[in-house]
Amino acid sequence: MTEPMPRKPIGPAGWVAIAVLGGFLLWAIWYAVHAWLALSGVGISPAGWVFMALGIVVTFAVGAGLMALVFYSSREGKDF
């Protein structure tokens, strides 16, 4: 078994990347809230709610399946 590499502290470029990604996250939240409030008078049919729920479940399942494959391949030593 190999020794784990020591962790290095985050440099200036890492902090800039974190700040930019945080800005994107705040903008996405702001946009989602304003879009949701703009649709306050719009109704969604029961079929719309069903398909929205199915989309959420399928998206979650695909993400979980891909993460399981990454974990499995890492444990089996098949990563490069």
pLDDT, tens digit (0-9, with 9 covering 90-100), for 30-66: 999 999 899 888 888 999 999 999 999 999 999 999 9
Secondary structure (DSSP) of 20-71: HHHHHHHHHHHHHHHHHHHTTT----HHHHHHHHHHHHHHHHHHHHHHHHHH
pTM score of the predicted model: 0.53
Determine the structural domain holding residue 65 and report its residue range: 44-80
Could you give the number of structural domains in the chain? 2
One domain for residues 48 and 76:
yes
Structure tokens of 47? 């079929």
One domain for residues 26 and 37:
yes
